[in-house]
């Protein structure tokens, strides 16, 4: 059954880390940043498939927007080149703007959807944009012998 | 409880890079050839400005030194940008990610009979109807993304690895390739410019004094030096620029070219090429400016007060929005830094002991000491006193 937490605060106070799942990059379209949308089996009982897919698809769209090669990117590139790239000392690049949007989105998703289900998404940029790390928390109060077996599985000891 | 000194993440980065300016500058360890490059460029240009420009500005045009200055500044800007920036280093996998990947590999390989070698760790992906093999990096404990390669000199996996250039003292990869190309291009132009105006200078003098060209040249020793330097530089730099122009038009890296990855045998084609020279050039030179994923200037552990995270990196944004207590909790449960190799996660508090997560705070300082300073800048004192956090 789904572990219930009402918010991030409650998660923090009463949960312990049980496991971590890593969503890998999808390279089928080349080197653009894109993650697999398939729900991993460990999260099957924790979250609805559509919610998870929506999150990953939105993230993929954000990254596609950041890496889009088009008029805006060319303009930014040419302007920057003319100023010997010194303009980036005062101006934020498009990619950086999108990354900020992404981290706000992830925080919002964590608060609204994932923390109440005992999950936590880590921003991919903190993992080198290689994986989306999802931490699975167990409610301490509801744990018995079942939790102790799962806590050791991920720590690599 | 007390913040003695803020430890920034660059101080604990694995790999053989050296850092300056508190993590703002990132280079390879051997910088000797880079200093030579700097010396040759600035030295030759200094001679040009000192000995040629006064004569040429008067007898030819004032535009000559002005253009030379602009070119010189552009060359230096591109060189420093190439040398000092993060080429696109991929951080190493944290222990949990590494063991997750190991489990996947073992599941895929099945059980290996004793005495037999396990199969090579390769993942196949299909990109644009081409099978690309992703190799496993035993140092970084990741499957390398396509086009990434491990640089043995810097001991890092670099995304879209081109080559390690000793002349710029850094790897050339995804993030700094366009600066490297613009550096070689502008340096070619600068070399041709100085060479040309040296010849013009000597010619003008020989005409003016009515002497033979060679005699006029010998009266200007600085010009002779410049011409020699430019002559030898021209062949290598112009050749290099031409080679990279060719690579860019095909959207290939030097690494792929050397290995013959897309040479056409076995009907293997470059899956990253747009099959259009203009599109390829636009993508490489005018593509998005990728951010660094290293967060070199991020603070390692937050102090009990509010820590102004001075990094302009976006990753700080999430850290700043959570309270110090929350960060404390999550950093205790997760590993404290994404960049320390072989770091063990803090021991999880067993559920049978009714304590809060903060009891594991004592285990963290020992982990930091075990890894030791890696790749610290020679100027920065290695810090062993870390920010200790308290929940109370």
Is B292 within a domain?
A: yes
Residues of A with Cβ-Cβ distance to B125 under 8 angstroms: 27-28
pLDDT number for residue B318: 41
pLDDT number for residue B326: 42
Residues facing residue B317 across a β-bridge: none
pLDDT tens, A14-26?
778 888 899 999 9
Residues of A with Cβ-Cβ distance to B293 under 8 angstroms: 125, 128-129
Please determine, for residue A121, whether its predicted confidence score (pLDDT) is greater than 70.
yes
Please determine, for residue A150, whether its predicted confidence score (pLDDT) is greater than 50.
no
Q: What is the mean pLDDT of chain B?
A: 77
Q: What is the mean pLDDT of residues A61-76?
A: 87
B286 is catalytic: no
Q: Is residue B133 within a helix (H) or strand (E), and if so which, with residue range? A: strand B130-137
Please determine, for residue B305, whether its predicted confidence score (pLDDT) is greater than 70.
no
pLDDT number for residue B301: 67
Q: Which residues of A118-149 are buried (b: 16+ CB within 10 A; e: fewer)?
A: bbbbbbbbbbbbbbbbbbbbbbbeebeeebee
**Which of B100, B286, B295 has the CB atom closest to A22's CB atom?**
B100
Distance from CA of B90 to the nearest CA of A (A): 6
Record: contact B134-A27, CB cut-off 8 A: yes
pLDDT tens, B181-235?
999 999 999 999 999 999 999 888 888 888 887 777 788 888 899 999 999 999 9
Residues of B with Cβ-Cβ distance to A70 under 8 angstroms: none
Q: Is A98 on the interface with B (CB under 8 A)?
A: no
Question: Whose CA is closest to B19, among B386, B384, B382, B365?
Answer: B382
Record: contact A85-B77, CB cut-off 8 A: yes
pLDDT number for residue A140: 67
Tell me whether residue A69 is exposed, middle or buried, using C-beta atoms within 10 angstroms of its C-beta: 0 to 12, 13 to 18, 19 or more.
middle
Q: Are strands B17-20 and B156-158 parallel, antiparallel or unpaired?
A: unpaired
pLDDT tens, B327-342?
434 444 444 334 434 4
Q: What is the mean pLDDT of residues B349-357?
A: 39
Higher per-residue pLDDT: B207 or B377: B207
Active-site residue, selected from the candidate residues B137, B140, B165, B171: B165
Residues 6+ apart with CB under 8 A from B11: B19, B23, B300, B373, B376, B380, B382, B383
pLDDT tens, B57-86?
988 888 999 999 999 999 999 999 999 999
At residue A156 the predicted structure's pLDDT band, cuts being 50, 70 and 90, is very low
CA-CA distance, B245 to B232, in Å (whole number)? 20
The strand order across the sheet containing B89-90 reads B89-90, B156-158, B149-151
Higher per-residue pLDDT: B316 or A7: A7
How many beta-carbon pairs under 8 angstroms link A with B? 156
Is B61 within a domain?
A: yes
Record: contact A154-B357, CB cut-off 8 A: no
pLDDT number for residue B356: 37
Q: Is B145 on the interface with A (CB under 8 A)?
A: yes
pLDDT number for residue B361: 38
Segment 41-80 of chain A within 8 Å of chain B by CB: 66-69, 73-74, 76-78, 80
Spatial contact of B322 and B350, defined as CB atoms under 8 Å apart: no
Spatial contact of B335 and B365, defined as CB atoms under 8 Å apart: no
pLDDT number for residue B92: 92
Residues facing residue B18 across a β-bridge: B27
Using CA atoms, how far residue A150 sits from A146, B95, B273, B343, in Å, is 7, 16, 45, 20
Record: contact A80-B349, CB cut-off 8 A: no
ipTM, interface predicted TM-score of the complex? 0.81
Record: contact B315-A147, CB cut-off 8 A: no
Please determine, for residue B371, whether its predicted confidence score (pLDDT) is greater than 60.
no
pLDDT number for residue A103: 93
Using CA atoms, how far residue A136 sits from A15, A66, B54, B75, in Å, is 10, 29, 72, 51
**Least confident residue range of A69-73, A130-134, A151-155:** A151-155
Record: contact B349-A16, CB cut-off 8 A: yes
pLDDT number for residue B220: 84
Spatial contact of A99 and B312, defined as CB atoms under 8 Å apart: no
Record: contact A12-B295, CB cut-off 8 A: no
Q: Is B370 on the interface with A (CB under 8 A)?
A: no
Is B100 within a domain?
A: yes
Please determine, for residue B303, whether its predicted confidence score (pLDDT) is greater than 60.
no
The pTM (predicted TM-score) of the whole model is 0.77
Q: List the single residue in B with minimal CA-CA distance to A122.
A: B318
Please give the residue range of the domain that contains residue B81.
Answer: 9-389
pLDDT number for residue B85: 92
Percent of chain B residues topping a pLDDT of 70: 74
Question: Best mutation site among A67, A77, A128, A143 for testing chain B: the one with the most B CBs within 10 Å?
Answer: A128
In chain A the first and final C-alpha atoms are separated, in Å, by: 29
**Least confident residue range of A13-22, A50-59, B218-227, B361-370:** B361-370
Distance from CA of A21 to the nearest CA of B (A): 8
Is B3 within a domain?
A: no
pLDDT number for residue B130: 84
pLDDT tens, B238-287?
999 999 999 999 999 999 988 888 777 766 788 888 888 888 888 888 88
pLDDT number for residue A19: 86
Record: contact A8-B326, CB cut-off 8 A: yes
Q: What is the mean pLDDT of chain A?
A: 82
Is B34 within a domain?
A: yes
């Amino acid at each position: 059954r789904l572990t219930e937490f009402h918010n991030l605060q409650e998660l923090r106070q009463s949960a312990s880390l049980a496991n971590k799942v890593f969503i890998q990059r999808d390279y089928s379209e080349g080197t653009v940043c894109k993650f697999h949308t398939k729900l991993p089996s460990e999260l099957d009982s924790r979250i609805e498939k559509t919610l998870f897919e929506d999150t990953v698809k939105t993230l993929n769209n954000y990254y596609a927007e950041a890496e889009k090669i088009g008029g805006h990117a060319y303009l930014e590139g040419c302007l920057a080149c003319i100023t010997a790239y010194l303009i980036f000392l005062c101006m934020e690049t498009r990619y950086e703007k999108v990354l900020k949007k992404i981290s706000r989105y992830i925080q919002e998703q964590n608060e609204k959807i994932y923390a109440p289900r005992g999950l936590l998404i880590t921003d991919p940029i903190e993992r080198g944009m290689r994986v989306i790390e999802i931490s699975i928390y167990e409610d301490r109060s509801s744990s018995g012998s079942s939790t102790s077996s799962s806590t050791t599985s991920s720590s690599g000891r | 409880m007390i913040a003695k000194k803020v430890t920034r993440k660059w101080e604990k980065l694995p790999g053989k890079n050296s850092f300056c300016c508190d993590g703002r500058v990132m280079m390879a360890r051997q910088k000797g050839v880079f200093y030579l490059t700097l010396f040759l460029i600035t030295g030759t240009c200094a001679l040009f400005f000192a000995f040629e420009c006064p004569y040429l500005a008067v007898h030819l045009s004032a535009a000559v030194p002005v253009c030379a200055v602009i070119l010189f500044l552009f060359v230096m800007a591109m060189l420093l940008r190439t040398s000092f920036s993060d080429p696109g280093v991929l951080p190493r996998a944290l222990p949990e990610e590494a063991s997750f990947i190991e489990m996947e590999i073992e599941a895929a390989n099945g059980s290996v009979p004793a005495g037999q070698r396990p199969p090579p760790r390769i993942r196949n992906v299909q990109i644009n109807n081409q099978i690309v093999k992703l190799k496993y990096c035993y140092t970084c404990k990741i499957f390398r993304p396509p086009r990434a390669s491990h640089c043995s000199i810097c001991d890092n996996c670099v995304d879209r690895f081109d080559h390690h250039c000793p002349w710029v003292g850094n790897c050339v990869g995804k993030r700094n390739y366009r600066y490297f190309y613009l550096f070689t291009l502008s340096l070619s132009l600068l070399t041709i410019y100085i060479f040309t105006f040296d010849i013009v200078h000597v010619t003008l003098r020989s005409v003016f004094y009515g002497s033979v060209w060679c005699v006029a040249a010998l009266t200007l020793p600085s010009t002779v030096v410049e011409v020699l330097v430019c002559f030898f530089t021209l062949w290598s730099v112009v050749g290099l620029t031409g080679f990279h122009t060719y690579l860019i038009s095909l959207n290939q890296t030097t690494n792929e070219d050397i290995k013959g990855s897309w040479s056409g045998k076995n009907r293997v084609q470059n899956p990253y090429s747009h099959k259009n020279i203009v599109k390829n050039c636009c993508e490489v030179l005018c593509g998005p400016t990728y951010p660094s994923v290293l967060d070199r200037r991020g603070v390692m552990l937050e102090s009990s007060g509010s820590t102004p995270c001075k990094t302009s990196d976006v990753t700080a944004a999430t850290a700043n929005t959570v309270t110090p207590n929350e960060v404390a909790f999550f950093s205790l449960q997760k590993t404290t830094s994404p960049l320390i190799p072989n770091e063990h996660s803090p021991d999880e508090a067993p559920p049978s002991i009714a304590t809060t997560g903060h009891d594991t705070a004592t285990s963290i300082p020992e982990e930091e000491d075990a890894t030791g300073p890696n790749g610290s800048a020679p100027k920065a004192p290695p810090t062993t006193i870390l920010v200790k956090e308290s929940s109370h």
